Structure 1
Amino acid sequence: MLERYYQELLNFCSRTVRNRDAAADIVQESYARVLAVQHSGQAVPEPRALLYRTARNLQVDQYRRSEVRGEALQPDAEASAAELDNLAAPQACEPDAAASSAQGVDALLATIDALPLRCREAFILHKFDGLPHSEVAQLMGISRKMVEQHIKLAMDACRRCRDALDGEPAAAPLPKLRRRKPARK
């Protein structure tokens, strides 16, 4: 999580605080708070959104503390505080985007569930468990080539699902995998 959003969040805070060191402190505190929530056992379904909300709240708190202490604001700092109140959240935090994302995940999970059993098993072992093709083949007792075909079929199904969600015209259906007949002895 740290590497994924750090620079993006730092740039966001730097634009609103206009002090790179203060922004770095806010980002560090945001990460500390979000990690504390995760370590407490609470599920954080959208860590990026929580990081942004935490950073924004810390910026507002910092501004309020400076007001209470009577610290003289620089002309840019006052404009920055006003800008902070009007700043829109990232697109991913918007309710429509969150609902669309949840629907997309549900559709992809349904697509994966609809795959043939062995195809689904190979796909899950490779994509979700991170196993290489050779290990998947060994676990399933099939050839590596068959694993590649299963994963290709699953990826094509997921791609068609994503295209349908994006409103693109449906591609021609893919052929199903054929089973080889056992060799006669």
Structure 2
Amino acid sequence: MSFDSVNSFNEIYNSFYRKSFLYVKSYVHDDMAAEDIVSESLIKLWQQMKQQPINPIPPYLFVILKNRSLDYLKHQSIIRSVHLNLAETLTREIEIRTTSLEMSDPIDIFSTEVSQIIESTLDALPQKTREIFKLSKFGNKPHKEIAELYQISVKGVDYHIMLSVKELRSALKDYLPLLGTLTFLN
């Protein structure tokens, strides 16, 4: 086969493309990649043949195809490794964010702010109402004992506590869904 003419590449292509494609595809498992590898290999063979005679052609072409296929597979391996590492990193990051969100407690996040609102709301109450509320809810004193201390009826103690709770509910209206566990607002 003479490859000195302008049509030499077409002759090489027609003679070796099909077998080369099937060989490369059996390793790379990708039609487009196999086509690219075979085309590049045939071009390289043709360029080498213009510089020096190559005979027999099939073993030489086989080495070119093998090396290009190996390069492709190594490159694919690196790409997959990078993708796998990225996927693992993203998975870990999502797990960390999920765990952090699951462990976050809105009460802890807003506790300082809520405490300040409670304190300022209680400070704005009349002194007697504030003291009765604090003795009942924070001091765990029975209503009867508070009534005796302030020389008022138990219903009077209930009134002062109800007034305090009403003011606190109003001041904490935006936080009530988060504060469902606070028993002194019930």
TM-score (norm 2): 0.39
The structure whose Rg is larger is 2
Structure with a larger share of its residues in helix: 2
